[in-house]
Amino acid sequence: MALVDVLIPTMRRKTGLCVVLTSLFAQTFTNFDVTVSDQTPEGEDYLDSIEVQTLARALRWRGHRVTLHRHLPARGMAEQRNFLLEQSRAPYVHFIDDDVLVEPDTMQRMLTVLQQERCGFVGCPATGLEYLSDVRPHQQKIEIWRGPVRPEPFEPDKLPWDRHLINNAANPLHLEQQLAADGRTVRYKLAWVGGANVLFDREKLLSIGGFSWWKRLPPKHAGEEVVAEFLLIRTYGGCGVLPSGTYHLGLPTNVADRERNATELFAELIEELDARLEAPVEEAQGASVPT
């Protein structure tokens, strides 16, 4: 079994998927397998294309197990991520979207941080290179972890939403130039980092429910990754990492309808999670909840 299962949700993005697979082929860290879940409608399939098949064969030649699924019908991104998580067995799961380019040392950096901090997840924000000349100091109020990453037990109405601004546009690259130009790795506090490039501790992700709540949402929704990351921040802690080594390809979104957002489930999921974590404490007379 590999140390990391790389999980890639995809739909109608053959070029983007090929860029991601090429990025994986070039990683300096090599102890990973790859699972792709494609929800491209029938008749538009591209998993059998020569480009995707060649990259899958190249990764297999390097010793990686590569599994390509056609997963239909499409029932929303939460269900898509839940399906991928169900396929995993490795101690760590690395969700990478099908619209990013990742630098060769990024996976190793993320894994090193996650193993050192023993938190719920580590995320690398995806920079929009078209915004390189758009410097936004008013969005770069970064909160750096000065000590170990710890849980932050926020309630939904007190979540520091403004933290997400540092992941916008080219802010990650501009902050990297200021804080990590000498090669150091910077860990910073999050509200969430998005779903483009996130490494999770699989056991911790499953303990907060993963994406098993997908049936509570209509197929057209957004924000599923925000919910999982927020629950992990509350329970185990999580952090963003600079340098991020992750770049948006600038492809049109596949989630155009954002009227329904998974964040509407915050209150009920927190109540259920807190009850689940408290139950063993009562039964074990003093056993501790995750810290």
Is pLDDT of 113 > 70?
yes
Q: What is the pLDDT of residue 258?
A: 62
Distance CA 147, CA 230 (A): 20
Residue 43 placed within a domain: yes
Q: What is the pLDDT of residue 222?
A: 85
Sequence-ordered list of residues with C-beta below 8 angstroms from that of 88, at least 6 positions apart, any chain: 5, 7, 35, 202
DSSP 8-state class, residue 94: E
Average pLDDT over residues 180-190: 92
Residue 199 placed within a domain: yes
Q: What is the pLDDT of residue 267?
A: 86
Total number of domains in the chain? 1
Residue 289 placed within a domain: no
Helix (H) or strand (E) holding 113: helix 106-117
Residue 204 placed within a domain: yes
Residue 163 placed within a domain: yes
- Token pair for 260: 């329904």
pLDDT in tens, 34-86: 999 999 988 877 899 999 999 999 999 999 999 999 999 989 899 999 999 99
Q: What is the pLDDT of residue 284?
A: 35
Is pLDDT of 143 > 50?
yes
Instruction: Compute φ and ψ for 87, nearest 5 degrees.
Output: -80, -15
Residue 277 placed within a domain: yes
Q: What is the pLDDT of residue 281?
A: 41
One-character DSSP codes across 160-211? -GGGGGGGSTTHHHHHHHHHSTTS--EEE--S---SSEEEEEHHHHHHTTTT
What confidence category does residue 166 fall into, taking pLDDT thresholds of 50, 70 and 90? very high
Distance CA 108, CA 130 (A): 26
Q: Domain residues for 111? A: 4-284
Residue 290 placed within a domain: no
What confidence category does residue 178 fall into, taking pLDDT thresholds of 50, 70 and 90? very high
- Token pair for 221: 């929704």
Residue 150 placed within a domain: yes
What confidence category does residue 181 fall into, taking pLDDT thresholds of 50, 70 and 90? confident
Q: What is the pLDDT of residue 202?
A: 98
Is pLDDT of 99 > 90?
yes
Residue 168's CATH number? 3.90.550.10
pLDDT in tens, 239-285: 999 999 999 998 877 665 567 888 888 889 988 988 887 764 444 33
